[in-house]
Structure 1
Amino acid sequence: MALVTEFRTQDLPVAERFASWYELTAGAFTPSLIRSDHEADFRANARMLDLGEVQVSSLAYSSLESRRPASMIRASDPECLQLLVTLRGSHRILQGGRDTTSGPGEVVLYDTSRPWHGWAAAGPDTVEGVMVQFPRVLLPLPANKIRQLTGLRLSGQEPMGALLSGYLVQLTAGATTYTVADGARLATVTLDLVTAFLAHHLEVSNPLPERTHRNAQLLEIRAFIQRHLGDPELSPSVIAAAHSISLRSLHRLFGDQGMTVSGWIRTRRLELCRRDLADPLLNARPVRAIAARWGFTDPAHFSRAFRAAYGRSPQEYRRARP
C-alpha cells in the first residue's frame, strides 16, 4: 500500500492545472471554495503522506483565496483539525472571530467544523508550508482548550515550535522511504509532537493561573503515566504519591476532563498493544508478551478488555492485519 501521493501541475496541461488542484484538495483535505488570480497558469506541488488517520502534506501553490462556508460544513464535515506551518509566503485566516496572518516559521491551527475565509500570498513565486490533518477526537486536549488556540498565530521558531516544524519538514522529505509499519509508528510520534506543541502554548498563554497550573499538572501526570505504562503496579495511589497530591485531587483532575485515571491508563495500554500487534516486526512475539510489556499480567483479562475496545480478540486483530 502506497503511503505517499505526489501531485505536480507541471505534469498536466496548463488548462487543467487549477481544476485538478481544486479537485485534489477537496478530496484529500476538506472541501472549500477556491479562487486564484493565477487560474490561467496555476502552479502547485503536493506530497501527501498517509499515516492512517493522520495525514502530513508538503504543499506549494500560487496565491489563492479559499472559503469554507457553513453550508459546506453541513454537507460534509470530517471533524478534523488542520495545523499549518508556513515556510514561505504568508497565510491569512479568519475563523472564530479572529483575523490572523502567519509568515515563515509560524503556525496556525484550523478547525474544519467552523467556517473560515483564508488567503495565501506567495508574491512572484509560490507559498509553501507543511500541513497536518487529523480527527479532532485524537487530540487529547479538552474542546474548550482547542478553541483557545484555533486561529491564533503560534511561533514555530522557539524551541518547541522548531522541534515540531523541523520534524514535519524532515518527515515529508523522506516520505517515499517509509513502509506501512512505519506509518503507524509515525502517526503516534506526529500526534504526540502536535499535542506537546499545542499544550505548551496553552501553558504559556492561559491568562488564568489556576487553570494553567492544573493543566500543566495534568500534562505532567499523563507524561508520568506514559513512562510507566509497562509497570503492572501502576495505580492511582502510586501516581498520586509520585506527584505529592491526594488521591482525591488526582481523581478530580481527570474527572474535569470527563475521564477516570484507571480508564485513561487502560485506554493507553490497549492502544499500545494494538500498535504492537499491527507491527509485522513483532510477529514472533506472543500476544501474552505484548500484553505483559504494557502492564497486562492476566492474559484472559487482557483478551476481554481488547475485545471490548476493538470488537475482536488480539489474535483475530493480528490475523486481520493487512
Structure 2
Amino acid sequence: MPADTVTVVSRATTEHVAPAERIDYWEDYNRRALVGLSCTSYSDQGLLARQTNIELAAIRLADIAGNAHAIERSPQTVRSAPKDSVFATLLLTGDAVFLHEHGCLAATAGELVVYDTRSPYLFGFSSSMRQMLVDIPRDLFDRACLAGGLPAPMLFGRDTAREGTLVAALRSLLGGLAALRSGWEPDHAEAAVLDLLRQLAAERTGGRPGHDGYRTQLIVAEDYIERHLHDPALSTARVAGVMGISVRHLARIFESTGRSPARHITERRLEEAHRQLTGGGARDTTIADVAHRWGFSSQAHFARLFRARFGRTPSEARAATSG
C-alpha cells in the first residue's frame, strides 16, 4: 500500500466459526489486533461479531459490530496483557453500560466514551451494536488531546450543543474513514481525529480550545450544515454559535472552499433539490414540497435561485427528466 493511503490491517468475523468456539476466537483475535480482553455472550447463537482494523499513522480505527455481549478487562487481564492506550469509542447503534473503578456510564447511540486501557473496565451491550473505536497511544493522547492525561472515563455527546456537534462531526469523519471513501491521507486523518477529541476535552474540562485548525473546523461546520439543511432557520450565525466562534471566523474557515458559509448552505440546498427533482419519483413531488423540504421558505425565491444555478426552472428540470 502507498504511504499516503488509509490502510486496512486486519478483518475478522465469527460468522463462520462454530458457536462453541466463537468466544475463544474473538478473544484471541482481539488480543493480537486490539487489546487483551475476556468476552461473554448472551445469545443462544453465541457471539456473532465482526471487526475491521484500519491504520491512520500512529492511531488505529476499529469498526466493530455484534449481537448482545460484554467485554471486560479485569485487573488480572490488565496485568497479564498490558496496553498503554486511550480508547475513544463512539457508539453508532445500540445501548451500552461502561463499568469502571469509579462508577458506571450509560451510553446510547451517538455518544462517545473515552477511557484508559491501563485501568480495568467492563463494556456491556444489551442488544445488537456497532461502534467505532479509536486506539490512541496514551502519550500521544496526553500531548495532542488532554495535557496531564485522562483523569477518569468520560462520556461525551449530551452536555452542550457544541459537544453534540463535535461528536457528530467525529462520527461523520470516522464513518468516511471506515468506509475507505474519505480521501484523507493518514497523517491528516489522524490530526483531524485528535483535534476533534482535543476540542471535546477542552469543552468538558473548561480548558481553552485554542486556535483550531481550519480544516478540522470545516469538518464540524459542514457536518452541522448537512444535518440541518431542511431547517429554514439554518444560518451562518447559528452555525457559528453552535461552534462557539464568531461569524467572521466562520467565514475565514470557508475561504479554502471558494465560497462563503451562506453560499455553501444555499448551494447544498440547491444541489439536493436538483437531485430530488431529477431523480426517480420526481413526477410525484410538487415544486413547493421540494422547496420546503430543503429549507426554502419561499417557492418564488427558490425558483429564482434554482434557475440562476442550473439554467432552467425547477419545472423544466423535472419535465426534462420525466420525458
Fold equivalence (TM over 0.5): yes
User: Is 1:101 paired with 2:103?
Assistant: no
Q: Which residue of 2 aligns with 1:196?
A: 199
- Decide whether the 8 Å contact of 2:23 with 2:39 is kept in 1: no
Structure 1 position 39, deviation (Å) = 7.0
SS in 1 for 2:109: coil
Structure 1 position 22, deviation (Å) = 1.8
SS in 2 for 1:109: strand
Q: Which residue of 2 aligns with 1:242?
A: none
Structure 1 position 192, deviation (Å) = 2.0
Structure 1 position 40, deviation (Å) = 4.6
* Alpha-carbon RMSD: 2.6
Q: Which residues of 2 match residues 191-270 of structure 1 at below 5 A?
A: 191-203=194-206, 215-216=207-208, 219-220=209-210, 223=211
Fraction of identical pairs, as percent: 19
Q: Which residue of 1 aligns with 2:147?
A: 142
What 5-or-longer segments of structure 2 have no aligned partner? 215-323
SS in 1 for 2:191: helix
Q: Please point out which of 26, 32, 51 is paired with 2:31.
A: 26
C-alpha offsets along residues 211-256 of structure 1, whole Å, 9 cap, x if unaligned? xxxx31xx42xx38x78xxxxxxxxxxxxxxxxxxxxxxxxxxxxx
Q: Which residue of 1 aligns with 2:83?
A: 78
Distance 1:8 1:32, change over 3 A: closer
Give the structure-1-normalised TM-score: 0.56
Structure 1 position 196, deviation (Å) = 2.0
Structure 1 position 194, deviation (Å) = 2.0
Give the structure-2-normalised TM-score: 0.56
Distance 1:98 1:143, change over 3 A: farther
| Residue identity opposite 2:170 in structure 1 | L
CA–CA separation in structure 2 for the residues paired with 1:85 and 1:163:
11
Structure 1 position 167, deviation (Å) = 1.1
CA–CA separation in structure 1 for the residues paired with 2:126 and 2:165:
27
Q: Which residue of 1 aligns with 2:264?
A: none
Q: Which residue of 1 aligns with 2:67?
A: 62
Distance 1:21 1:39, change over 3 A: farther
- Decide whether the 8 Å contact of 2:86 with 2:137 is kept in 1: yes
Q: Which residue of 1 aligns with 2:117?
A: 112
Q: How many pairs align?
A: 202
CA–CA separation in structure 1 for the residues paired with 2:18 and 2:7:
26
Structure 1 position 60, deviation (Å) = 0.4
Q: Please point out which of 169, 174, 184 is paired with 1:168.
A: 174
SS in 2 for 1:171: helix
CA–CA separation in structure 1 for the residues paired with 2:104 and 2:20:
34
* Farther off after superposition, 105-114 or 50-59: 50-59
SS in 2 for 1:31: coil
| Residue identity opposite 1:3 in structure 2 | T
Structure 1 position 100, deviation (Å) = 0.7
Distance 1:6 1:76, change over 3 A: closer
Q: Which residue of 1 aligns with 2:52?
A: 47
SS in 2 for 1:78: coil
SS in 1 for 2:15: helix
CA–CA separation in structure 2 for the residues paired with 1:41 and 1:178:
37
- Decide whether the 8 Å contact of 1:7 with 1:47 is kept in 2: yes
Q: Which residue of 2 aligns with 1:297?
A: none
- Decide whether the 8 Å contact of 2:156 with 2:164 is kept in 1: no
C-alpha offsets along residues 153-201 of structure 1, whole Å, 9 cap, x if unaligned? 21077211111122111211126x879xx22332222222222222222
Distance 1:92 1:3, change over 3 A: same
Q: Which residue of 2 aligns with 1:273?
A: none
CA–CA separation in structure 1 for the residues paired with 2:71 and 2:46:
18
- Decide whether the 8 Å contact of 1:96 with 1:151 is kept in 2: no
Structure ID, larger Rg: 2
CA–CA separation in structure 2 for the residues paired with 1:169 and 1:143:
29
- Decide whether the 8 Å contact of 1:66 with 1:117 is kept in 2: yes
CA–CA separation in structure 2 for the residues paired with 1:69 and 1:48:
23
CA–CA separation in structure 2 for the residues paired with 1:39 and 1:143:
44
Structure 1 position 31, deviation (Å) = 0.7
CA–CA separation in structure 1 for the residues paired with 2:172 and 2:183:
18
| Residue identity opposite 2:7 in structure 1 | L
What 5-or-longer segments of structure 1 have no aligned partner? 204-214, 228-322
* Farther off after superposition, 192-201 or 133-142: 192-201
User: Is 1:159 paired with 2:165?
Assistant: yes
| Residue identity opposite 2:79 in structure 1 | R
Higher helix proportion: 1
CA–CA separation in structure 2 for the residues paired with 1:34 and 1:12:
15
Q: Which residue of 2 aligns with 1:276?
A: none
- Decide whether the 8 Å contact of 1:94 with 1:151 is kept in 2: no
